[in-house]
Amino acid sequence: MINGINSYSSYNYTNTFSNNTPNTKSSNTVNETSNLVSDKSGAVNKVLGYGVDENGFFTSDFNEAAGLPKDYKIYAKDIENFVNIQTKSLLSSY
């Protein structure tokens, strides 16, 4: 078995990747800006007292209050459902 593993040690590995790589710096900039949370002035709705953008994500006011970085996008409906479940659980335990 060891001889089988060592039989590949003489194999010559070559780099088959081409140098035609896209400019990752500019594409990363686009991705970084699209991943940022919308400013609170862009809110079209409110959930739990915080602004929600047109895609259903909390705006920057939620991230500021929660102490989250600006690149954390939190889907508002998920948090609203979580709060509702927790509230119902607490009420049903009494």
How many C-beta neighbours within 10 Å does residue 30 have?
Answer: 9
Mean pLDDT of all residues in 70-86: 93
Determine contact, residues 57/68, Cβ cutoff 8 Å.
no
Domain ranges of the chain: 27-92
Cross-strand pairs, 52: 45, 58
Closest among 63, 35, 34, 33 to 51, alpha carbons compared: 63
Query: Which runs of consecutive H residues, i.e. helices, occur in 11-72?
Result: 24-34, 60-66
Residue 84 pLDDT greater than 50, yes or no? yes
- Which tens digits make up the pLDDT trace of 17-49? 555 555 555 445 445 556 788 888 888 999 999
